[in-house]
Amino acid sequence: MRPSESLYWIRAGLGIAIGALTALYDLATGWSLTNNGLGDLFTGVAFALMFFIITYYVLRLYYSDKFKKKSKVMSTGIGIYFLLWIVVWILATTFIH
Dist. CA 30–CA 97, nearest whole Å: 10
Type and span of the H or E element at 62: helix 38-63
Dist. CA 26–CA 80, nearest whole Å: 22
- Per residue in 35-79, pLDDT tens? 555 667 788 889 899 999 999 999 988 888 888 887 888 888 899
Let me know: does 20 contact 88? Beta carbons within 8 Å.
yes
Indicate the pLDDT class of residue 83, thresholds 50, 70 and 90: very high
Question: Which of 66 and 17 is assigned the larger pLDDT?
Answer: 17
- Mean pLDDT of the residues in the chain: 86
The pTM of the full predicted model, rounded to 2 decimals, is 0.85
Burial 9-36 (b: 16+ CB within 10 A, else e): ebbbebbbebbebbbeebeeeebeeeee
